[in-house]
Amino acid sequence: MKELLNLEEKTWKLYEESKKDIQKIYDEIDEICEYNTAKVLQAFWDNHISEAHFSTTTGYGYDDLGREAIEKVYSHIFKTESALVRNQFISGSHALAKTLFGLLRPNDLMLSITGLPYDTLHEVIGIKENKSSLKSFGIQYDQIDLINNDFDYDKIEKYLQEHSVKLIEIQRSRGYSTRKSISIEQCEKVISLIKRVSKDTIVMVDNCYCEFVSLKEPSEVGADITVGSLIKNLGGGLAPNGGYVVGKKELVDLVAEALTLPGEGKDVGPTLGINKQFLQGLFFAPFVVKNSLKTSIIASAMLEKLGYFVDPTPKEKRVDIVETIHFGNEKDLCLYCEGIQSGSPIDSFVTPVPVNMPGYKDKVIMAAGAFVQGSSIELSCDGPLREPFIAYEQGGLTYESGLIGILKAVNKIVKEKENIK
Ligand X SMILES: *Cc1c(COP(=O)(O)O)cnc(C)c1O
Q: How far is the CB of 419 from ligand X (least distance, A)?
A: 37
Q: Alpha carbon of 100 to those of 71, 190, 206, 227, 325: distances in Å?
A: 20, 20, 11, 11, 32
244 phi and psi, to 5 degrees? Answer: -135, 150
Please say which residue, 40 or 372, places its beta carbon nearer to ligand X.
Answer: 372
Out of 61, 66, 126, 175, the residue judged to bind ligand X by CB under 6 A: 175
Query: Does position 206 bind ligand X by CB under 6 A?
Result: yes
- C-alpha span between 18 and 1 (Å, rounded): 16
What residue spans of 198-262 are helical by DSSP H? 249-259
Query: Does position 118 bind ligand X by CB under 6 A?
Result: yes
- Report whether 203 contacts 112 (CB < 8 A): no
Among positive and negative, which fits the CA dihedral 300, 306, 311, 314?
positive
Closest-by-Cβ residue to ligand X is 92
Q: How far is the CB of 247 from ligand X (least distance, A)?
A: 17
Q: How far is the CB of 153 from ligand X (least distance, A)?
A: 22
Q: CA angle at residue 38 from 34 to 41, to 5 degrees? A: 135
239 phi and psi, to 5 degrees? Answer: -65, 125
- Report whether 187 contacts 207 (CB < 8 A): no
Out of 57, 173, 300, 380, the residue judged to bind ligand X by CB under 6 A: 173
How far separated are the first and last CA of the chain, in Å rounded? Answer: 21
**3-state DSSP assignment of residue 303:** helix
Please say which residue, 89 or 287, places its beta carbon nearer to ligand X.
Answer: 89
Give the binding-site size for ligand X (rule: CB under 6 A). 14
Per-residue x/- mask for ligand X, residues 360 to 379, rule CB under 6 A? --------------------
Q: Parallel, antiparallel, or unpaired: how do β-strands 243-247 and 225-229 relate?
A: antiparallel
- C-alpha span between 221 and 108 (Å, rounded): 25
Give the chain's count of helices (H) and strands (E): 11, 12
Query: Does position 208 bind ligand X by CB under 6 A?
Result: yes
Q: How far is the CB of 41 from ligand X (least distance, A)?
A: 26
The 8-class DSSP code of residue 150 comes to B
Out of 103, 231, 274, 370, the residue judged to bind ligand X by CB under 6 A: 231
Q: How far is the CB of 381 from ligand X (least distance, A)?
A: 14
Please say which residue, 7 or 367, places its beta carbon nearer to ligand X.
Answer: 367
Per-residue x/- mask for ligand X, residues 126 to 165, rule CB under 6 A? ----------------------------------------
Residues 60-99 interacting with ligand X (rule: CB under 6 A) = 91-93
Query: Does position 380 bind ligand X by CB under 6 A?
Result: no
Query: Does position 181 bind ligand X by CB under 6 A?
Result: no
Residues forming contacts to ligand X in the complex (CB under 6 A) are 91-93, 118, 120, 171, 173, 175, 206, 208-209, 229, 231-232
